[in-house]
Structure 1
């Protein structure tokens, strides 16, 4: 069975503040009971330039979600296979229900360039404005710990070992 086969098709549902932020089709690559790996094309119809990386139609994301960790790591490659880097979302642990992968985005993100020379913490202002620290202090603490953990790992060992 290939990742794109109908038997492995699922929908990634990224939720933010109780509403669906984006939903897109993906192919299940592997599920070992703890980590769920899917592959999906860049979901937007147009390119998006973040300043530090440009996501374009045709880019392929291999996305790793954990049932026991507060983050997701997305390996981003060009249509030709060149690694652009890793976009990491801080999330609650993922939940797979049938053919739907439910992921709650907690606003914090991390970008790691392909060569590891650039490690950027992103959206900390959005995280503060979200009010999560007031509504759910333990979740906010877990989110910050997850971001710190990923940043440390990216700067010391790189993310390749985490997702292979």
Structure 2
């Protein structure tokens, strides 16, 4: 609260105060007590008088012999920075991922069908289909991994040009 007289011929000193102004003075008195400028008895007396104060003059009398406290305002928190929102593409599914996944599922289904058919005719063909299906699945996973690496290198090159 600004307890300086208002420049209107001294009439500001007789203006009535409210709970907010009383509370501000009580906070200031508590700060002076914490700094060792007031004793406990002085603080109690001034707090009681502050709560009964009716005009600006009543409040000024309570703090006039104390150094003026400079109000501390916290530094404003930095706001959001303008610019594009970064997108984490490591978890996003793109078209290439979906195509590779569909090819992998399709390959596993075909190899499973071959396993069923080959197993019914010849046990050796069953083993061959099992090995072939496993090789197809591993090959699909490897192709997907290599495709991801190629896309990451491309993205890195594009980002470094900016």
TM-score normalised by structure 2 residue count: 0.23
Please tell me whether Structure 1 or Structure 2 has the larger radius of gyration of its CA atoms.
2
TM-score normalised by structure 1 residue count: 0.23
Give the helix-richer structure, 1 or 2.
2
